[in-house]
């Protein structure tokens, strides 16, 4: 079977070369027009809220700032995660 394939390829060598060049040209064209980013963005969209609360301890920031905002943000449609961090005089909320 392989012998007959080689014999047919040798007898039709111009057609085989033309087909090889056509496939190489189509491959080059497909590679050049491929809409792929080098570093695709696969992360979900995030919203980060950073608030200053001067003079408040982390416990006060959590109870007076973060908790009311979290209660309001829990009803957002298609929300994947709600995270918050309370530090001295700073509230950091990630949705």
Please report which confidence band the pLDDT of residue 40 belongs to, taking 50, 70 and 90 as the band edges.
confident
Q: How far is CA 8 from CA 12, 14, 24, 42, in A?
A: 6, 11, 21, 49
User: How is residue 34 written in tokens?
Assistant: 């491929």
Q: What pLDDT is recorded for position 38?
A: 72
Q: Could you tell me the residue range of the domain that residue 11 belongs to? A: 2-32
Name every residue whose Cβ is closer than 8 Å to that of residue 26 and which is 6 or more positions away in sequence.
none
- How high does pLDDT run on average in the chain? 89
Q: What pLDDT is recorded for position 76?
A: 86
Same domain, 20 and 57: no
Please report which confidence band the pLDDT of residue 36 belongs to, taking 50, 70 and 90 as the band edges.
confident
Looking at the structure of the chain, the number of domains it has is 2
CA–CA separation, 12 and 6 (whole Å) = 10
Same domain, 24 and 53: no
């Amino acid at each position: 079977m392989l012998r007959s394939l080689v014999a047919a390829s040798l007898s039709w060598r111009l057609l085989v070369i033309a087909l090889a060049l056509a496939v190489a040209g189509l491959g080059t064209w497909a590679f050049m027009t491929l809409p792929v980013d080098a570093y695709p963005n696969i992360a979900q969209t995030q919203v980060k809220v950073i608030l200053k609360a001067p003079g408040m301890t982390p416990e006060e920031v959590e109870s007076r700032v973060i908790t009311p905002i979290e209660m309001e943000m829990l009803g957002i449609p298609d929300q994947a995660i709600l995270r918050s961090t309370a530090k001295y005089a700073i509230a950091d909320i990630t949705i």
